[in-house]
Every structure is written in structure tokens, then in C-alpha cells.
Amino acid sequence: MTISPARILVVDDEAPLRTLLSRFLQLEHHEVITAENGAQALSLVAERQPDLVLLDINMPVMSGMEALRRLKADPLTRDVPVVMISSEMDVDGIASCLKLGAEDYLPKPFNPVILSARVSACLERRRLQLQERAYRDQLEHRVEVHSALAAQHAEARAQSDAALQRQSEILRSVFASLGEGVIVVDSGGVLIHHNPAARQILGARLALLIPATRAETSVFQTAQGTPLLAYELPLARALAGEKVDGLELFLPLEGNDGQWLSVSARPLGGAGDPNGGAVMVLRDISASKRANLALRESEERYALAARGANDGLWDWDLRTNQIYYSPRWKAMLGFAEHELGTDPAEWFERVHPDDRERLEIHLQAHFRRLITHFQHEYRIRASDQSYRWMLCRGLAVWDAHGTATRIVGSQTDITDRKRAEQRLLHDAFHDGLTGLPNRMLFLDRLKHAILRNRRSEGHSFAVMFLDLDRFKVINDSLGHSAGDALLEEIARRLEHSMRPGDTAARLGGDEFAILLEDISSSEAALAISERIQQAIAMPLRLNDREMFTTASIGITLYQPGYESAADLIRDADTAMYHAKMRGKACAVVFDPAMHAAAMEQLQVETALRWAVERDELRLHYQPIVALDSQRIEGFEALIRWQHPQRGLLFPRDFIAIAEETGLIVPIGWWVLREACRQLKRWQNEVPGAETLWVTVNLSARQLVQPDVVQIVLGVLDEHQLAAQALKLEITETALVNSSQQVREALSELRAAGVKICIDDFGTGYSSLSYLQRLPVDILKIDRSFIQTIEETGDQGAIVGNIIALASVLGLEAVAEGTETASQVQRLRDLHCSYGQGWLFSKPLKPTDAVGLLLKQPATLPDVSLPAPSE
């Protein structure tokens, strides 16, 4: 609905509110006049005749209630609509204002949307009332003129009848075209005329307003819900000579919200005049009432939502620079409602200094319409001087010139969410067990150190990579809880051993890294590592036991050639690996040659993974000779790698890598299958080879496979070999350290007929009692003892003792590394069962081994062969 500009009188003793209301109404294109008390208001109403008065209740000189009472008592000002304004008006106060004749009320602080709606509604009602009054006056005037003419020109009645008829037709046309309903009754209350609008508004209910059909109590109610008595109906009052203006009636109806009417009535003629009667004008104001009700409910919902919301609300008038805070807004910061003023500066002074500028920037961006909605997170100081995180949202209002005039918003306390985010952020960059920075954070700080070096060449630093030497033993023997306690203690010792500015991190498992700032020499880094080593080596208690541990440390000094943090950690890790190789519990500074060696090892590992699939692995066979018969009884299968670029490689070139990477397991099973396949072929093709056997090395990793027995027996079955044709060599250390499960598996293989041989016997630490319990059949004497067999004293006697031990235990003995005839003779004198070495033959290709089998010498060679080159 478009409301024409009106003259509005604003009466309030508070200048800021008068100014605020004036500016808002002027934006609505109304003419505004102001007064600061009731006395001034009465004068201005008489002088300026405003269309609407906005009247504050509590004012000096003359209160709003007194001014309202005088305005409504004066016939000249009675019809001027008045809207009361108050910040403390309760239900009784509102009722008092309405009884005195106020059109409406408006609470402070006002909502601009509600103010606009109520002002528009009042002005519209004022317009309709004036229009209705003009029509009534016109109608009354015409009726009076008509009556006067009839009295004055009785003699010309005949001539005037035609004029009256025409006039009646005109009036009927006017009645028919009016939007308001018109009902005319005679002096007896009988309906003599009504226009179509009346029928349209009331329908069959029209008769309910006619006094002739009234009951003692009518069906109509007042605006307050009080039923009207019959004599209180507008037409009845008009017939009694009373004028009725703008009476609002409510007609309850079943199935809907009922009907609201605005009714005015006038008497026609004097009271008791048989030629008199009454006329009534009515309007259906149901839609307006429902709109006002919906608006009031909306206001109530808004007020209830504001009181019940967990958010604090604020309303900032940018023209007056006054701000309103809801009670919840203040309570969020620990303030009572009276403790904060209306100056926005007080708000901004409480914002954290680091957040204030960004808050102002976001606000200004919204005021300039650079962002649609204002939303910003910031910290604000509460009453207890602590800072709380707030999420502030708002939306501004702009005038016709694009200038922001007001912004209204809410504020949410997000302190708990922020703390949770900070915890998540901390957890994302820190180790959950030790609290140290994790790999991600360490890499980030290392990247920043590299950037600082690039900006300032004088900045130098180093990286340490630390690995605990005995962590797995402690973790496996004492349990994971003890292992975790050890890691926590090591982390604490690292933190106490570092200098300010250095960073220690846990990369995972028992691996730690340290960033040493301002380190320019390996000597300085080694000095720090020594201090760390001493701290770690201090005794500690785990599970009520005193324990010791050490660490291997690799150190990388930053050089300009490094491009990434990962490269620095990689090289420190490589240096740490070399520290492990040197016996652990030491520190090694990275040398570029280490990287080259590591790259070579990586290349070997990669190529080795393909070696089986590409058929690059080979088996050579070294004969094992029975010393008493001087005949070949079996062969040991020895692996070789036919590398595509480097040629034939021996086990020392790749077995350690295979062990480290776990490739030893698939390679070991390949050796077993290939050796058994070759043995079966020899047994089938070489005369007298039916009892030939083969010895295959079994690694410690193969031993712990849960299906080791099934695999070994499956290979024998696959190649149709007797179990006695296979001997499995296991190192003394692997066998002694084996678990009960491994020993049971070996016992099962022995029971099936497979022979178990202890390789390199004498280099380990087997006791006689322990050896008796091991499931073995053969002792293979290490070559280091065979080379000293001809010496006198203890060294020469060791071999004899081993052979004697084997005899006592019912085991066979194999002398490995037999290279001279005198060694053979000495072994025969000691009753050694077998010999193996270059004296008899070097390791042979399968085809060469066949040739050796076919032409076995009748006697043992009596010349020594040169020492092996491998």
C-alpha cells in the first residue's frame, strides 16, 4: 500500500529519539514537526493540524497521558490519531491509552519495520475516516437541502417530484458505486434501503444490524470481546439521536476467524420523528485487523526470540552513533544490563588489539556494500578481563544515497568451538603420546629454516635423526605400555637436552628428529649429540626394573644444495643407519658418499625385486665329500645373481639387502624349489646319484613363517624327493634365538626325515645343555676353525672338541672351508664325517657338477687349491 506524505508530530523529551524518529519518518517522505512535552504538543496540534501524533508517555511539564486526555476532550483535536510511545508500558498502561482514545502504541527501542507499518496503518485509517466524514457531511447536507427545498417549495411539489426522482436515482447510483456499505432504516427501524456493498459485506447477516430484528443480546462484540446489547447497535443508537463514528464490531463466524466491521451511523430527523430514521455506513476491516494481528504476533515472536535466543542482539544507529545491546549480549560478557552504555567505542575498546583492525575493516567493507553480509570472528574482553571468541553477524540499512544508516546483528559465543579447533590443530601437528611436534610440524619448521637460510646466508642449521637402539627388545619383552613409557621419558630428556629455539619431534615408532638452529660445524652438532647421548643413557625404571638404552644418531648439516626438508631428513636417516652399522650408541655426520652408497643399495633392492621374475638368480653347487670314502655325497646350493649390468654377483653383494627388505623369504623358497628340482634331475640322469642329497640354507625369516613345514614338505612332494635327500642349514644364532614354535616346526621336519644342520657352528653361544635340546642332526664347523686346525695349542684343539661333541650327541660333523690335503688328513684323524671346500671343488654350475659326478676321482687330491676369491 502506498501512503501519501503526511504531517506527523513527534513528541518526546529525549532529543536523540526525536531526531531518530524524525530522520526515519523523513526517509518515508513525511513532514515532521517536533515537541519536547505535552504542552508544546497541544499548541502545535492546534496550529499545524498534524495528520498523526507520536506521543511519549513520560515527559516533564505535561505527560503524554494528560496531553492525550486533552486532545481527545477537544472536539477540534479529537479525531487526530495518536500513537503512544514508551519503554516501560505494561498491559494496563496500554489499555489505559486505548481507552483514552490512542490509536496504537509503539515500544522503545522501536523497530523501524514495525514503526513504518504502524504509522502507515494509522494514516490509512485517518484517510478513510476523513473520507467517510466528508461523505457523511455531503450526505447530510444534501438531505438537509432536500428537506429545506421540500418545505420551501411545497407549492411546487409536482415540479420537484421529478427532480427528486432524478436525485434519488443519482443517490442510488452513488450508493451503488460506494465501496462502503450503506443501510437506511425508517424511524421504526425498518430497512428501507441498502446498497450492493452492504449486501456484499454482510450477505444474509445484514439483518443482524437492523433494530427491528434484534434480540435482547446481539451476536456482535466490541473490539474488547464484550457482547453488544440490542440497544447498543449503531442503528439503534442513531435512531435514539446519537451519532456513532468508527465503531469497530466483531462478528464471530463458525469455520473462520470471524468478521470485523468499522461502523458509523447518523440519525435522520429528530428523535421520535415519524419521518425520520437512521443511516449507517460500514466497512469490512477484517483484512486490516488480520494484518495488524499478524504484525503484532510477529513482533511478539521477535521479542520472544530475542529473549530466548542464546545469541546476543545489537542495533547500531549509524546516524546518531548510538548502539543498543540486548540483555543476552551483555550477559555473554558477564555484565549486568545497566553496566554498558550506548557508545560503540566501548565495544571496540574491548576487542582484542590483534583483532580490532580486522573487525573495523570487515564492517567498513559491508557499509560500502563490498560484502553482502557482515560476518566476522574476533576476541572481546569480558568483565573478568578474560577474552572470549565471538562470531558477529549483521546486516546494514542504506538510505537513498547509498549511505549506511543502521546495522542490526547478533553475536554468538564460539569460545568452546575455538578451543576445540585449537585442540584439533594441536593434535594434528603433535604426537599424541609424547606431546612433541610430529612429522608434519617438523617438516614445516624445517622448510621455514631453509627459507630463512635463503634469505640470510648467515643462517645455518643442522638436522639430527635419532633411533633408539634397544627399543624393540624392551617393547617386546616388557609390553607396549612399557615401550610407551620409555618413549615419553626419552621425549622429556630430549626437551631438557636441547637449547632454546631448537625443535625436537617424534617421527614415528622410536624415531625422533631434532632441528638445531645456528649450527655451522659438525663439531658443534656432535657436541650436542654427545649431550643427548648422555641424557638418554641415564638409567630409568620401567615396570619396577632399572633399564638402560642408547640411541644411534645421524646428523645432516644444511648446505645450499638442499632443496627440500625431506632431503635433509633422508640424509640424516642415512647417517643414522651408518651409526647403527658402526655398533650403535654413536653419532655419525652425513657424508655425500653415504647417499651414493644408499642410492646404489636402493638400486640393488629394486633390481633384486625383479630378479626372481626375470630369472636372473642362479644356483651353484659345491660338493660335500665323505672323508672316509672320498666320494661326493651331496651338494650345498649356493645362490648367485646374474645381474644384467654388473655381471655375476655373490651373496655378500645382495643377501644383506634381501634380509633387510624381507625379500629373503621369496628368494629362499625359490632356492629350495630350484635345488630340489636340480637334485631330482641328477638322481634321474646320473648313474649312482640315487642317494645324492642337497643342502639348502634356510633364513631366520623363513623359519618364522607359520607354514614353513607345509612349504618344505610340499616342495619335496612336488619333485618326488625323499625327505632324506634334503638338509636344511640354519645359523647357530638363528636356531638358539628361535621360538618354541620354530623348534616345533624343525622337530616336525626331522620327524619327516629332513636333516637339520647348524651352520657356522662355533661362532655362536650354544651351551652343551641347550644343544642337546635343539632338533639338529649335523654340526657344520665354521671355516675360521678349519683354517687353524694344523696349529698347536687351543686353536687346533677346538675342531677336535667340536667333532668329539658331535659324536657324543650322535651328530655328524661337516668341515667347511677345507683347502689343503693336510687339513683333510687331520680331519680324518679326528673322525670328521664330511669335508667341503675348494680342495675338492669350487661351487659349480649345474652342468659342471654333472661332469664332476661322472668322473669322481678314485683318490683324494693331494695338492692344495688356492684360497677362494669370493
* Mean pLDDT on 515-537: 91
Specify the pairing of strand 31-35 against strand 244-251: unpaired
* Mean pLDDT on 550-579: 91
Percent of the chain clearing pLDDT 90 (strictly above): 39
Helix, strand, coil content of the chain in percent (nearest 5): 45, 25, 30
pLDDT of residue 862: 42
503, β-bridge pairs: 515
Number of neighbours of residue 439 by Cβ within 10 angstroms:
16
Residues 245 and 101: their CA atoms lie apart, in Å, by 13
* Mean pLDDT on 488-511: 92
Dihedral sign for Cα 767, 771, 772, 778, please.
Answer: negative
pLDDT in tens, 210-222: 765 555 677 788 8
8 Å CB contact between 182 and 175: yes
Dihedral sign for Cα 25, 30, 36, 38, please.
Answer: negative
The verdict on whether omega for the bond into residue 353 sits within 30 degrees of 0, i.e. cis, is no
Q: How many residues does the chain have?
A: 870
Residues 592 and 610: their CA atoms lie apart, in Å, by 28
8 Å CB contact between 264 and 136: yes
**For residues 431 and 603, which has the higher predicted lDDT (pLDDT)?**
431
3-class secondary structure per residue, 674-739 = HHHHHHHHHHHHCCCCCCCEEEEECCHHHHCCCCHHHHHHHHHHHCCCCHHHEEEEEEHHHHHCCC
Q: What contacts 626, CB < 8 A, 6 or more positions away?
A: 632, 633, 833, 834
pLDDT of residue 858: 41
Average pLDDT over the chain reads 85
**791, amino acid identity:** E
* Mean pLDDT on 649-665: 88
List the end-to-end C-alpha distance of the chain, in Å, as a whole number: 107
- The three three-digit cell numbers of residue 61, written as one number: 511539564
- The three three-digit cell numbers of residue 514, written as one number: 631434532
8 Å CB contact between 280 and 264: yes
Q: Which of 301-315, 492-506, 596-610 has the highest mean pLDDT?
A: 492-506
Nearest to 730 by CA among 718, 743, 715, 713: 743
* Mean pLDDT on 273-295: 80
What's the Cα-to-Cα distance from 168 to each of 16, 192, 197, 346, rounded to whole Å?
57, 13, 18, 73
Contacts made by residues 680-685, CB under 8 angstroms, sequence distance 24+:
680/719, 680/720, 680/721, 682/849, 682/850, 682/853, 683/721, 683/725, 685/850
pLDDT in tens, 846-870: 999 998 888 875 433 443 333 433 4
Which of 316-330, 407-421, 633-647, 722-736 has the lowest average pLDDT? 722-736
How many Cα atoms sit within 13 Å of 324 on the Cβ side?
A: 14
Q: With bands split at pLDDT 50, 70 and 90, how would you rate the model's confidence at 836?
A: very high
C-alpha Rg value of the chain to the nearest Å: 55
Q: What contacts 219, CB < 8 A, 6 or more positions away?
A: 208, 227, 251, 252
8 Å CB contact between 25 and 50: no
pLDDT of residue 863: 38
pLDDT in tens, 93-121: 778 888 888 888 888 877 787 888 888 88
Residues 583 and 352: their CA atoms lie apart, in Å, by 56
Backbone φ and ψ of 107, nearest 5°: -80, 150
pLDDT of residue 309: 60
Q: At what angle do helices 794-808 and 821-829 cross, to 10 degrees?
A: 50
pLDDT of residue 11: 92
**For residues 742 and 93, which has the higher predicted lDDT (pLDDT)?**
742
* Mean pLDDT on 232-261: 82
Dihedral sign for Cα 522, 523, 526, 528, please.
Answer: negative
Which of 109-118, 317-326, 389-398 has the lowest average pLDDT? 109-118
Which of 177-186, 305-314, 315-324, 724-733 has the lowest average pLDDT? 305-314
Nearest to 84 by CA among 110, 59, 109, 107: 107
Q: Is residue 553 over pLDDT 60?
A: yes
Nearest to 42 by CA among 26, 59, 19, 23: 59
Q: State the DSSP string of 449-472.
A: HHHHHHH-TT--EEEEEEEESSHH
pLDDT of residue 302: 63
CA angle 716, 653, 680 (to 5 degrees): 20
Nearest to 756 by CA among 717, 727, 716: 727
Residues 345 and 348: their CA atoms lie apart, in Å, by 5
pLDDT of residue 866: 39
DSSP structure class, residue 9: E
Taken in order of first residue, the domains within the chain and their CATH numbers are 7-127 (3.40.50.2300), 178-292 (3.30.450.20), 312-420 (3.30.450.20), 430-590 (3.30.70.270), 606-848 (3.20.20.450)
Nearest to 84 by CA among 116, 58, 47: 58
Residues 769 and 195: their CA atoms lie apart, in Å, by 129
* Mean pLDDT on 655-669: 89
Residues 427 and 433: their CA atoms lie apart, in Å, by 10
267, β-bridge pairs: 278
Nearest to 42 by CA among 55, 32, 31: 55
Specify the pairing of strand 812-816 against strand 834-836: parallel
Q: With bands split at pLDDT 50, 70 and 90, how would you rate the model's confidence at 437?
A: very high
Q: Is 43 exposed, middle or buried (0-12, 13-18, 19+ CB in 10 A)?
A: exposed
pLDDT in tens, 577-615: 889 888 888 999 998 888 777 777 778 888 888 888 888
CA 869 from chain centre, in angstroms, equals: 65
Dihedral sign for Cα 431, 434, 435, 439, please.
Answer: negative
pLDDT of residue 860: 39
Specify the pairing of strand 387-398 against strand 244-251: unpaired
pLDDT of residue 308: 60
Q: At what angle do helices 708-718 and 664-685 cross, to 10 degrees?
A: 30
Q: Is residue 769 over pLDDT 60?
A: no
pLDDT of residue 747: 92
* Mean pLDDT on 779-798: 78
* Mean pLDDT on 500-511: 92
Specify the pairing of strand 461-468 against strand 551-557: antiparallel
Residues 85 and 106: their CA atoms lie apart, in Å, by 5
- The three three-digit cell numbers of residue 269, written as one number: 430527523
Q: Is residue 661 over pLDDT 50?
A: yes
pLDDT of residue 868: 39
8 Å CB contact between 487 and 438: no
- Maximum alpha-carbon separation in the chain: 180
Q: Is residue 447 over pLDDT 90?
A: yes
Which of 296-300, 419-423, 467-471, 815-819 has the lowest average pLDDT? 296-300
pLDDT of residue 792: 62
User: E strands of 210-303, at which residues?
Assistant: 217-221, 227-229, 244-251, 259-268, 277-284
DSSP structure class, residue 654: T
**405, amino acid identity:** T
pLDDT in tens, 366-391: 999 999 999 999 999 999 999 999 99
